[in-house]
Amino acid sequence: MTTGEKILLAEDDEGMRELLAEFLQEVGYEVVTAKDGREALQAMEGEEFSLALLDLRLPDISGLEILSALKSRFPDTQVILFTGYGDLESAIQALRLGASDYLLKSDLVMAELQAVVERALERRRLTRENLDLTVHLSLAQEELVRRRAAELKQIRTIGETLAGATTWEKIFHGLLDLIWDGLPLAVMGIRFLGGDWPLENFRRRPEVAEPVFRNFQDWFNRLLLAETENPAPHQTLTAAGESPLPAMLWETGHAGEVTALVAAGREVPFTPEEIELFRIFLLQGEAALNHLRLMEEIRTLAVRDGLTGLYNYRQFWELLNLEVGKSRRYGHPLSLLFMDIDDFKNINDTMGHPQGDMVLKTLGGYLQTGVRQVDVVCRYGGEEFAALLTQTSLEMSIVLAERLRRGIAGLSFPFEGRTVRITMSIGVAELQPGMSGEDLVKAADDALYRAKRRGKNLVCGVEA
């Protein structure tokens, strides 16, 4: 739900700037645009914005500098960064400086943008509401002051506990302890569902009878089943019917493929302040999950090729040096396949670059499934691929390379009513005593060059 809040949009690409501004205005926001960092800073002089959408790569002033200036003046203004694959290290720094999220330009979807904006503004509204609580405290209301101070301390504890969590398990146990210690509850259940690691825990006070506790667990599992079948974030308070206890609180949060469900109950009805605190617990937990997910995605993007999903050039060299060290230490053979698609430029020229990308993506998947799980396939660059074969001799590697070459030659790609086929030349080399990682790459590259000279669609090993 939009509220006419003001958004600062700093983007140097005119087309994208106009598109984003029009979309945000259509859903009800007031948008101030800036084509560069100077205009963004000038806009900040005149008013406070609820949220800023910043391009990391502005022509005159970086998005990080604007982020720093904005946070120094208006700490609760939410900031979302636009970035490309090449800006991942800057994106990590931006998150550490206080940015609430980032979006990749290449994957931008308007519905996702709207959801991210709404989530950031909701977080800001909750923060401001909690800060406003302290403004209206009266010295005459000593008990209220004490209670509000305790709540604010709890909120700070939430942030300190969850913001420092570096694994899903730490967030899970941190949220469990925070809620159990922060609210007077009789029973509580929490579950993280998603991926390959469901986490679940139930707690009860000593005075809660076993039949009541089992009833609560059964109710929790029915709630979880309903949420799995029809996921939607919500929070409710029940006091009758099938509820295991007279007063029940429950809420769900989502972070990518992870769904978090938390439920709690007791005999005495919850106060509005307790309900709000429970909601803050879950929102902060969801924010911590999303932050961790973003950091994991950034780490993945830093080592993976964006098109094929294989390890990229930089990660290849790190893994190569690691495997060379292992080979030296344990005396195991290590071989390298250096592969290049024959005449790939013709594919791009005749079929177009989108079809060329499809060929590269399909080939990357084929190579990954064509080697053992312990082997490492990388996209070296352009149409070049490399495969590190651990504990594999030159002779065994040539056999594998021949199998890959024949399989690739048998692949077919439909294009405009006809079938297009590709071939690949492969150079093979084995690590020898005294060789470095660079020497192994050069040997495999030389073998690849011989395969090209001899007619392509060939496997060549190192010549004696």
Any idea what the CATH number is for the domain that residue 250 is in?
3.30.450.40
Closest by CA position to 185, among listed 261, 250, 254? 250
Percent of the chain with pLDDT over 70: 83
260 and 347, same structural domain? no
What's the predicted TM-score (pTM) here? Answer: 0.46
DSSP string for residues in 264-292: EEESSPPPHHHHHHHHHHHHHHHHHHHHH
Tens digit of each residue's pLDDT (9 = 90 or more) over 287-338: 777 777 776 666 666 788 888 989 999 889 999 999 999 999 989 999 999 9
Domain boundary among 259, 281, 302: 302
401 and 264, same structural domain? no
Number of domains in the chain: 3
324 and 289, same structural domain? no
Closest by CA position to 283, among listed 174, 158, 416? 158
Domain hosting 143: range is 137-302
Whether 131 is covered by a domain: the verdict is: no
Please, which pLDDT band fits residue 350 given cuts at 50, 70 and 90?
Answer: confident
Position 130 pLDDT exceeds 90: no
Whether 395 is covered by a domain: the verdict is: yes
| Residues 36/58, Cβ–Cβ less than 8 Å | yes
Instruction: Give the CATH number of the domain where residue 366 resides.
Output: 3.30.70.270
> Can you name the residues that pair with 254 across neighbouring β-strands?
259
235 and 141, same structural domain? yes
Please give the residue that has the higher pLDDT: either 250 or 208: 208
Whether 373 is covered by a domain: the verdict is: yes
Neighbouring residues of 457: CB distance < 8 A, sequence distance ≥ 6: 342, 405, 409, 423, 424, 425
Closest by CA position to 255, among listed 82, 101, 88? 101
| Residues 27/73, Cβ–Cβ less than 8 Å | no
Please, which pLDDT band fits residue 59 given cuts at 50, 70 and 90?
Answer: confident
Rank 234-248, 333-347, 413-427 by mean pLDDT and report only the highest. 333-347
Over residues 61-90, mean pLDDT: 80
Query: What pLDDT was estimated at residue 361?
Result: 92
Position 441 pLDDT exceeds 90: yes
Query: What pLDDT was estimated at residue 161?
Result: 54
Position 122 pLDDT exceeds 50: yes
Position 56 pLDDT exceeds 50: yes
Tens digit of each residue's pLDDT (9 = 90 or more) over 216-255: 898 888 877 776 656 555 555 554 446 788 888 877 777 6
Position 177 pLDDT exceeds 60: yes
Query: What pLDDT was estimated at residue 340?
Result: 95
Quote the CA–CA distance of 73 and 77 in Å, as a whole number: 9
Whether 328 is covered by a domain: the verdict is: yes
Instruction: Give the CATH number of the domain where residue 90 resides.
Output: 3.40.50.2300
The b/e string for 385-423 (b: 16+ C-beta within 10 A; e otherwise) is bbbbbebbebeebbebbeebbeebeebebeeeeeebebe
Query: What pLDDT was estimated at residue 290?
Result: 76
Position 147 pLDDT exceeds 70: no
Query: By three-state DSSP, how is residue 341 classified?
Result: strand
| Residues 339/452, Cβ–Cβ less than 8 Å | no
**What are the structure tokens assigned to 165, written together?**
């969590």
Over residues 442-462, mean pLDDT: 94
Please, which pLDDT band fits residue 75 given cuts at 50, 70 and 90?
Answer: confident
Least confident range of 249-253, 358-362, 434-438:
249-253
Please, which pLDDT band fits residue 403 given cuts at 50, 70 and 90?
Answer: very high
Whether 258 is covered by a domain: the verdict is: yes
Over residues 393-407, mean pLDDT: 95
Query: By three-state DSSP, how is residue 40 classified?
Result: helix
Quote the CA–CA distance of 197 and 202 in Å, as a whole number: 17
341 and 230, same structural domain? no
Query: What pLDDT was estimated at residue 174?
Result: 80
What spatial distance separates the first Cα and last Cα of the chain, rounded to whole Å? Answer: 72
95 and 167, same structural domain? no
CA 86, 89, 93, 99 torsion-angle sign: positive
Whether 381 is covered by a domain: the verdict is: yes
Element (H, E) at 200: strand 199-204
185 and 79, same structural domain? no
180 and 50, same structural domain? no
Position 97 pLDDT exceeds 60: yes
Domain boundary among 89, 117, 145: 117
Q: What is the rounded average pLDDT for all residues in the chain? A: 82
433 and 396, same structural domain? yes
Quote the CA–CA distance of 128 and 76 in Å, as a whole number: 8
Over residues 362-375, mean pLDDT: 92
62 and 142, same structural domain? no
**What are the structure tokens assigned to 88, written together?**
């991942």
Instruction: Indicate which residues carry an active-site annotation.
Output: 383
161 and 286, same structural domain? yes
Whether 132 is covered by a domain: the verdict is: no
Quote the CA–CA distance of 310 and 312 in Å, as a whole number: 6
Query: What pLDDT was estimated at residue 262?
Result: 87
Q: Are strands 78-83 and 51-55 parallel, antiparallel or unpaired?
A: parallel
Domain boundary among 84, 117, 150: 117
266 and 194, same structural domain? yes
Query: What pLDDT was estimated at residue 288?
Result: 76
Position 259 pLDDT exceeds 80: no
Q: How many residues does the chain have?
A: 464
Neighbouring residues of 406: CB distance < 8 A, sequence distance ≥ 6: none
Whether 402 is covered by a domain: the verdict is: yes
